[in-house]
Amino acid sequence: MSSSRKKFLLSPYTLNIFLDCPRCFWFHVIKGKEFRRPEPPTSSLPVGMDNIIKSYFDQYRKINSLPPEVSSTLKGKLIEQSLIKDWRFWKTGLKFTDTDGQTLCGALDECLISEGLYIPVDYKTRGFDLKEDSHSYYIFQMSCYNFLIKKNNYPVSDYAYLIFYISQAIKGEGLVKFKIEVKKINTLKPDKVYETFRKALETLELKEPPPASKDCQFCLWAQRIIESHKKQLRLF
């Protein structure tokens, strides 16, 4: 690829859109905000919870320990505060720029060291119990973190942890009880992540967006709306 080509900054989130649908990914990156796939209304609660959990883990980091409710399921110790502070923010976080100047970056919630290896950890807040495959949606995201940690010259393993906080009941004085479940997931090989990164970049080279999936309900809906407008215009 020539060095005069446009440089992109991708993330595990945007690569997940690519895996979901290359066409939506093309619009998301090339056309920007106004052409992005509509998202359902989001709540600030998960972001607030993430921040509370981060501070909670930071308290245990100070005493070189793990919160008791996860200490038997998480193996390792929390990485130092200065490092996780940087890794939690995408601007100071983990970045990899390949020889073509294309960049992948990511922001981690938490990271452990176990037997000298760095193990990424992500918190997930849920309103319902886990299904058997609830964790599978996050495999690529966690694989990206392992890839990025490795590319920043820290030794990694082939797994990561997800910590699910599942709301259960409300107690007096506004206290909400959460069930906590830790899932250890096997991550993809770094080559696989890089391959996806390159394929995504190839899609961004296209002058026109790639075709839509035949059975995506969003696209079928948009097509119906366009056809209906065309019909109405013909009536006038």
Could you give the angle at which helices 139-151 and 12-20 cross, rounded to 10 degrees?
Answer: 140
Give yes or no for residue 53 binding ligand SF4 (CB under 6 A). no
Residue span 11-40 as binding mask against ligand SF4, x where in contact by CB under 6 A, dash where not: ----------x-xx------------x---
- What binding mask, one character per residue, do residues 198-217 give for ligand SF4 by CB under 6 A, x or -? --------------xx--x-
Provide the b/e sequence for 63-100 (b: ≥16 CB within 10 Å). Answer: eeebeeebeeebebebbeeeebeebbeeeebbebeeee
> 35 or 89, CB closer to ligand SF4?
35
* Minimum CB–partner distance for residue 208 and ligand SF4 (Å): 13
Q: Which two tokens stand for residue 187?
A: 């991550």
218 binds ligand SF4 (CB under 6 A): yes
Determine if 56 is a binding residue for ligand SF4 (CB under 6 A). no
* Minimum distance, C-beta of residue 50 to ligand SF4, in the bound complex (Å): 27
Tokens standing for residue 1 = 């690829």
**What dihedral angle (degrees, nearest 10) is formed by the CA atoms of 107, 112, 118, 124?**
-40
Q: Which residues bind ligand SF4 (CB under 6 A)?
A: 21, 23-24, 37, 212-213, 216, 218-219
